[in-house]
Structure 1
Amino acid sequence: MERWRNVKNEKIKLIMQKRGFTFEDLAWLSGVPYSTLTKIGSGATENPGFAAMERIAKVLDCSLDEFTDREPMVPYDYADYVYRFKKLPDNMKEYIKYTIDSEYDQMIHSASSEKIKIKCFEFTNIVGGLAQYDSRIERDIMVSSNEISRACTFCVYLSTHVLFPKFPEGSLLGFRYDDDYDPKNGEIWIIMRGGFLFMGRVYKRNRDIYVKALNGTIDHWHINSHTQYKRIGRLVGVLREGEVDMPEDVR
């Protein structure tokens, strides 16, 4: 029988503790006998069978290397987040995947020597966290050509800190006009009602769709009805972030 050597019983018990497992739970879920598990956990069995350890690792959702002094292929912290992610409801998973995709695209495709022209809006009158649509200043600006900018139909320059800490003052946010697109949980949209714009994160409750303020200062907006609300655009990504001074190509 193949053995799994140099198992550290303290590491097994630590992972069990963080997962909230007892030896009884582990025995029931893994099929490994309780007596075998307690011997492994006490250190009495230093080199347990590989098959048993593989089943234990599967239940604890971790790498076999995490039971030894070897550097795991997937660090425990990441495995722990994966475990927690799997426990979340589907709408939260959608939000997290959307955020990861957006941040990854921004990181990979933010730099380019090529430039493209895109329409940029700045809103100068902010009332209670809402931007007055008629206060907009419209410009054509040049931005780096990348996957984010090519997917945009317009961008918004943040001349205030109203969306801090999510987006610092000076950020340039890229949006896509998608009026017929069904908003997904976690996406950030600009919504217009009564001449004012509200930027927030979409979440769904049964058949209802709401937009929640990014800074928590504005009541949720219910956006099921197209007769009362207009979806202006969906955030594609950040074209530039955190410049306090007005960028030269936006002046």
Structure 2
Amino acid sequence: MERWRNLKNERIKYIMQKRGFTFEDLAWLSGVPYSTLTKIGSGATENPGFSAMEKVAGVLDCSLDEFTDREPDVPYDISDYVYRFKKLPAPMKKYIKYTIDTEYDQMIHNTSHDKIKIKCFEFTNIVQGLAQYDSRIERNIMVSSNEISRYCTFCVYLSTPVLTPKFPEGSLLGFRYDDDYDPKNGEIWIIMRGGYLYMGRVYKRHDDIYIKALNGTIDDWHINSHTRYKRMGRLVGVLREGNVDVGMDAR
């Protein structure tokens, strides 16, 4: 197994303190055992496994060089990155902004124990108001632990204004997977058919269940049959409101 050498344990503890991390936080987020991390932090393990240190660096959002006395190997200064960013097409800019916002939110929430980790989906291909399921970007993100987030099984980041004004671009919506739950009038659900996701409000007509698109551009779907439609989850609340004026900046 490849080892990481020239490690300075005081550098790790300094970076952890600066980021507001404990060894418990680091173990939970990185998957590296707590006992391993404390031995590294105390200096008892001088040459830890490279894989473990790579995971730690990923969570602490730093270069592996920052764990040693070497200068971090960064090929460009900030002005070069800004120049390159401005040259990218609009969809790539949105993706990068979303990634930065997500990482920033995670860093802020890592300073508090009042947090919860939730699987988050972003759908990048929207066709006539429908999101293509295979276009999803999947991450685990940190959000405040509250009544809504504790009940969620996943959340969806809206990277488009397709559901505006009900849910503006940049909103983070919390859902609960309830495949056996009987939808009630007025509830908002995500339904999948033929590889595409449809988000709408449920209404009933006698024994039939229908879903009406929130954006009003798609015909109502009859969703009684589980063989034709899969119920992905029902909306339990908004974890974070978007801001149409700033687009991806949803802090």
Q: TM-score, normalised by structure 1?
A: 0.53
After TM superposition, list the pairs within 5 Å mapping 1:67-216 onto structure 2: 114-216=114-216
Distance 2:128 2:163 in 1: 12
Alpha-carbon shift at residue 246 of structure 1 (Å): 3.3
Name the % identity: 86
1:218: which partner in 2? 218
Distance 2:247 2:217 in 1: 25
SS in 1 for 2:148: helix
2:238 is the alignment partner of 1:246 = no
Distance 1:234 1:114 in 2: 25
1:234: which partner in 2? 234
SS in 2 for 1:150: helix
Distance 1:227 1:234 in 2: 18
Alpha-carbon shift at residue 122 of structure 1 (Å): 0.1
SS in 2 for 1:147: coil
Q: TM-score, normalised by structure 2?
A: 0.53
Distance 1:233 1:221 in 2: 16
Are 1:189 and 1:232, in contact at CA under 8 Å, matched by a contact in 2? yes
Distance 2:195 2:167 in 1: 23
1:91: which partner in 2? none
1:246 partner letter: M
Are 1:152 and 1:176, in contact at CA under 8 Å, matched by a contact in 2? yes
* CA shift in 2, pair 1:139/1:248, >3 Å: farther
| 1:82-101, Cα deviation, whole Å (9 max, x unpaired) | xxxxxxxxxxxxxxxxxxxx
Are 2:124 and 2:135, in contact at CA under 8 Å, matched by a contact in 1? yes
| Count of residue pairs the alignment pairs up | 138
Are 1:191 and 1:232, in contact at CA under 8 Å, matched by a contact in 2? yes
Distance 1:248 1:169 in 2: 9
SS in 2 for 1:121: strand
SS in 2 for 1:143: strand
Are 1:120 and 1:139, in contact at CA under 8 Å, matched by a contact in 2? yes
Are 1:113 and 1:144, in contact at CA under 8 Å, matched by a contact in 2? no
Alpha-carbon shift at residue 242 of structure 1 (Å): 1.5
Distance 2:250 2:213 in 1: 30
* CA shift in 2, pair 1:248/1:189, >3 Å: closer
SS in 2 for 1:200: strand
Alpha-carbon shift at residue 187 of structure 1 (Å): 0.2
Are 2:169 and 2:248, in contact at CA under 8 Å, matched by a contact in 1? no
Which structure has the larger Rg? 1
- Structure 1 gaps of 5+ residues are 1-111
1:217 partner letter: T
| 1:79-118, Cα deviation, whole Å (9 max, x unpaired) | xxxxxxxxxxxxxxxxxxxxxxxxxxxxxxxxx9711100
Alpha-carbon shift at residue 248 of structure 1 (Å): 8.1
1:122 partner letter: E
1:151 partner letter: Y
SS in 2 for 1:134: helix
SS in 1 for 2:216: coil
- Structure 2 gaps of 5+ residues are 1-111
* CA shift in 2, pair 1:148/1:188, >3 Å: same
Are 2:200 and 2:214, in contact at CA under 8 Å, matched by a contact in 1? yes
Distance 1:176 1:124 in 2: 21
Q: What is the RMSD of the two structures over their aligned residues, measured on CA atoms?
A: 1.6
Alpha-carbon shift at residue 247 of structure 1 (Å): 5.2
